[in-house]
Structure formats: C-alpha cells, structure tokens
Amino acid sequence: MKPKAVLVETNWVVDVIAPAYLQSPQAMQLLERAQAGEFKLYVPAICLTEARETVPRRFAPGSHSNDFRKFVRWAKDLGRVTAEDADAAYRVFAKFDGLVANELTKVKVSERLDELANHPSLNVFQLSEPMLERQVSIGAMDDLFLKPYDLAVLAAVIVKSEELQQEGHPWVGFCELDSDLQPWDKSGSRKRVLSDLYDDVRIFVYANFLLEDVSELPDGWTTSI
C-alpha cells in the first residue's frame, strides 16, 4: 500500500522560505515528517510562483525596524534611554535589516525557492488540463465566490487528490490556512459548497500544519452530515 499524502499551498511555502527568525516550526516540521517517510508531500507549482512575490513584500525589513528607530529617538530625546542604549539599539536594527535583506534577496533570485522545489521529500506538480477544466466548472457554481488564483489552487488540490487516491494512496490531507478555501467560516459553521467539494473527493482538511494524527478522523474533516 502506498503512503498517505498531504497537500499544501502558498501559506506553507511562505512559512518555510521566510527569513529564518520568522519561519514556522510547524511548517518546517511537516517537511521533516515527509522526509522521515510518514507521508508524501505535494504542492502546486503555482504556489511557488506566488510565494516568490509574497515573501519580499510581506517581510520587507524597513517597515518594521523604522518604527523602532523612531521610538528610540523619541525615548532618547526624553531621556528615557541613554545614548549608549540608543546606539546599541541602532546597531541591532542595522544587523536586523542586513540579515533580512540578505534572506529576501535569496528569495528574489530564487535560491531558497529552488532549494525547496528540489527537496527530495517535496513533490511539485504543474496545473494539468483536467485541473484547468475543473477550475472552470467550479467557478460556475452558485454561492461560491473565489478569486481566480484561489479557484486554481482549489481545482489543483481536488484533481490531485483524485489522482493520488486512484494511484493507491489511502488517505489525502490538505493543510489550508487561507480562510477563503477553508470549508468552515470564522464561527466554525460549515460552508456548504466548499464542504461538499472536499467531501466528494474525501480530502481531510486541516487549519494548521500539525496533522496530529493522520490515522484518525481529524477535527477538521468536513463530513456531509
């Protein structure tokens, strides 16, 4: 019997290739568990493309450290911090900016993404014609209001899940942190259309990267009750 399979999307990619101090331990652990052979890990190639644009924008260092610089200047002028403490803080800010800028440059030149894409425990798959056809059919459904990119990811996940199960994988999970593609709303109520789509192809949906017990029916599973 083939191993279980887990699908991830852009949020996971971003959490793995973010600057080191912002990387998600849960996301990194998921990759380590796949490397240990616990399951097969899959991600649509379009999610790597989106992460290439998202990471430099989201983690640009200046917007964070500049606020702290303003605070230190204000506190120094009021005598609340010493000149020595202010100088030490500025040195830390400079190191912070340099470190993050260097890591973001690696993303811009694809170094980090290429390393991830070529990781032996990550399976990157391209959008196929059946996935594009499914995107069109899902997009025509009533009461489902998704952006084109989200529709593409949803179609890719659904079709890939069908393919994996046809190939003999007994269980398929999907880690989805994006509320737009989660089959429940903020209050935990079931989103009928999305729930039905996941239920029809038996995808176990998680709102995190923990997958605490892939052998049991998880809390995030959207049953058709």
For 172, the token pair is 């398929």
Q: Are the beta carbons of 54 and 10 closer than 8 angstroms?
A: yes
Given a cut of 50, is residue 141 above it in pLDDT? yes
Given a cut of 90, is residue 47 above it in pLDDT? yes
Q: How many CB atoms lie within 10 A of CB 186?
A: 7
H helical segments located in the chain: 10-17, 25-35, 45-58, 62-77, 83-108, 111-117, 129-139, 148-166, 192-200
Q: What is the rounded CA–CA span in Å between residue 37 and residue 41?
A: 10
- pLDDT tens by residue, 69-124: 788 888 888 888 898 988 888 788 777 777 767 777 766 647 889 999 999 999 99
pLDDT tier at 64, thresholds 50, 70, 90: low
Task: Give the residue-averaged pLDDT of 22-31.
Answer: 94
pTM (two decimals): 0.80
Q: Which residues pair with 44 in a beta bridge?
A: 125
Of the candidates 31, 187, 20, the one whose C-alpha atom is nearest the C-alpha of residue 104 is 20
- pLDDT tens by residue, 190-222: 999 999 999 999 999 999 999 876 544 444 444
What angle separates helix 148-166 from helix 129-139, to the nearest 10 degrees? Answer: 130
Q: What is the pLDDT of residue 33?
A: 96
Mean pLDDT taken over the chain: 87
Task: Give the residue-averaged pLDDT of 50-72.
Answer: 77
Sign of CA dihedral 144, 147, 150, 154: positive
Q: Are the beta carbons of 202 and 165 closer than 8 angstroms?
A: yes
Q: What is the pLDDT of residue 37?
A: 95
pLDDT tier at 187, thresholds 50, 70, 90: very high
Taking CA atoms, 40 is separated from 43, 142, 207, in Å, by 10, 34, 19
User: Which residues in 82-115 are b (16+ Cβ under 10 Å) and which e?
Assistant: eeeebeebeeebeebbeebeebbebbeeeebbee
Classify domain 5-57+111-206 at the CATH topology level: Rossmann fold (3.40.50)
